[in-house]
Amino acid sequence: MGCCRRGLARGLITRSLLLLHERGMTSAALGVDGDNPTGALGLYEAAGFKIHERYTAFRKPMEDDR
């Protein structure tokens, strides 16, 4: 997926943060899958976001015993 690396995602994040700031926001938060293979975590860190909290999610498929 990251073949072209033209900075579109970084530009969208930067513009969004600027618009939020212009509207009086003093902080922004988001959630991301830290294991995301597209490098989303690195993108957000490069935009200035810092890890605030980490969560672990568990999933167990339930058998269909009907």
One-letter identity of residue 10: R
pLDDT bracket for residue 24 (50, 70, 90): very high
Is pLDDT above 60 for 2?
no
Of 21, 18, 13, which is closest to residue 47 (Cα–Cα)? 13
Averaged pLDDT for residues 10-33 = 95
Distance of CA 2 to the CA centre of its chain: 16
The model's pLDDT over 25-60, given as tens digits with 9 standing for 90+, comes to 999 999 998 888 988 999 999 999 999 999 998 999
